[in-house]
Amino acid sequence: MTTAETESVESFRARARTWLAENMPRLDPDLPPPALGDDDEEWVRARELQKILYAGGFAGICFPQEYGGLGLTLAHQKAFTQETAGYEMPVQLNIPTFSIVAATILDMGTEEQKRERISAAIRGDEVFCQFLSEPSGGSDLAGLLTRAELDGDTWILNGQKTWSTSAYAADWGLCLARTNWDVPKHRGLTMFLVPTTAPGLHMNRVKMVNGSREFCEEFFTDVQLPASAVVGEVNDGWAVASRQLFHERNAVGGGSPYVSGLAGRPRALGGQSPFTIARATGRAAEPGVRERVGEWLAVETVQNQMVARVSRAIGTGALPAPAASLLRLFHAEAMQRGTDLAMDVAGAQVAAGVGTEEGVTGRAGVAYLSRQGASLGGGSSEMARNQISERLLGMPREPAADRDVPFNQVKRGRS
């Protein structure tokens, strides 16, 4: 298919339907809900599935052809995703590999980085992660302390990162480091593409309250990187990070063109919805329970309608790019309402499992413990509210004590 004559969405959809039926493994409806994304086998499987998609010509639908994609439109991607319902898909690769890291490399990377990294991910050969957050601070990303210093032609990286989602399964990470300490914080940062197997990089997995070990922390000790590892310009890493944050908001909110396949039920519900719990607990006839299940259905539906509306509006320019924060904020609210409603519906049974298993209601209880994850991951809801009020409504920006101050003179906490 050449760009001169783009295949129609309906023809693409029909071809995808046939191909999926013949090539893609079906999801087993009797299997337990998806794991917490911390299983090594799951990642091996994701790479296998991506290779099948690539071999069939259905990988990287919205990525340009010169980097291994199909160069098609969001409408093609949406049609494909609709057709994948009921099939196994490499959904683990959606965030951050394709929708954040590959999307950012496409926007900001060198020709070589685009050719090599994006196509390798589309082929199912490589997985990406992000080395952004640091233990010293969450929302104030630009205040990071990891340093990179030039020694001849080689960059030497030292410092610590955390909250890197599924980094243990990745081959490459986008790592933001400080390369100039004598200028204000945003102006002294550089983005690097770092192989996760680089000597001097030590990685641990962080255990979360729900038992998940998908997040990692990394220690960099004299990690050596070539000049070609720089993404974008030296000391202009903030421009790259801004693209990442934009793509992250878009992806977490559900508006990214680089997401292929549906991730099933929200993970925070542990695969258990108020609907399922109402049935499992025999409470489906109670009017109060029915109201809560109805509310959950409504919130879930509005969440999808919101994604469709806002991503379309950003696409046409009817809303500016910071409108992605609307999706970020609403997504957190919808997820948390779902978590709360699930706990309500589980009622007295939320405190106990079935025998030694957590069971449906126990899962609702565990999901409730990590409820706030929805308003923390991918930038906190408070940061989204700043974005919306300042960038969409034009309200005055928050005063910042570090604005225009050389970073080596900015006050820091003790840890």
**Which residues are known catalytic residues?**
248
Q: At residue 309, what are phi and psi to the nearest 5 degrees?
A: -65, -50
Tell me which of 129, 240, 293, 350 binds another protein, using CB under 8 A.
293
Examine residue 398 and tell whether it contacts another protein (CB under 8 A). Answer: yes
- CA 287, CA 293: separation in Å to the nearest integer? 10
Tell me which of 392, 402, 405, 410 binds another protein, using CB under 8 A.
392
- CA 173, CA 179: separation in Å to the nearest integer? 18
Tokens of 296: 């959950």
Whose Cβ is closer to another protein: residue 114's or residue 328's? Answer: 328
Whose Cβ is closer to another protein: residue 185's or residue 292's? Answer: 292
Examine residue 292 and tell whether it contacts another protein (CB under 8 A). Answer: yes
Half-sphere exposure of 276 (CA within 13 A, CB side): 15
Examine residue 98 and tell whether it contacts another protein (CB under 8 A). Answer: no
Examine residue 29 and tell whether it contacts another protein (CB under 8 A). Answer: no
Half-sphere exposure of 260 (CA within 13 A, CB side): 28
Cβ 255 to another protein, closest distance in Å?
12
Tell me which of 29, 287, 355, 413 binds another protein, using CB under 8 A.
287
Strand bridging mode 201-206 / 154-165 = unpaired
Tokens of 246: 């934009």
Cβ 398 to another protein, closest distance in Å?
6
Cβ 297 to another protein, closest distance in Å?
5
Largest CA distance in the chain: 73
Window of 25-33, 115-123, 205-213, 284-292 that interacts with another protein by CB under 8 A = 284-292
Q: Return the residues of window 308-347 that contact another protein according to CB under 8 A.
A: 308-310, 312-313, 316, 318, 323, 325-326, 329-330, 333
- CA 360, CA 348: separation in Å to the nearest integer? 13
Host H or E run for residue 81: helix 74-83
Whose Cβ is closer to another protein: residue 57's or residue 315's? Answer: 315
Whose Cβ is closer to another protein: residue 355's or residue 396's? Answer: 396
Host H or E run for residue 9: helix 9-23
Tell me the Cα Rg of the chain: 22
Cβ 396 to another protein, closest distance in Å?
4
DSSP sequence for 149-194: EEETTEEEEEEEEEEEETGGG-SEEEEEEE--SSSBGGGGEEEEEE
Tell me which of 385, 400, 408, 409 binds another protein, using CB under 8 A.
385
- CA 100, CA 130: separation in Å to the nearest integer? 9
Whose Cβ is closer to another protein: residue 188's or residue 253's? Answer: 253
Window of 8-16, 126-134, 156-164, 307-315 that interacts with another protein by CB under 8 A = 307-315
Cβ(214)–Cβ(129) below 8 Å: no
Window of 25-33, 121-129, 140-148, 287-295 that interacts with another protein by CB under 8 A = 287-295
Which residues of the shown chain bind another protein in the complex (CB under 8 A)? Answer: 275, 278-279, 284, 287, 290-295, 297-299, 301-302, 305-306, 308-310, 312-313, 316, 318, 323, 325-326, 329-330, 333, 382, 384-390, 392-393, 395-396, 398
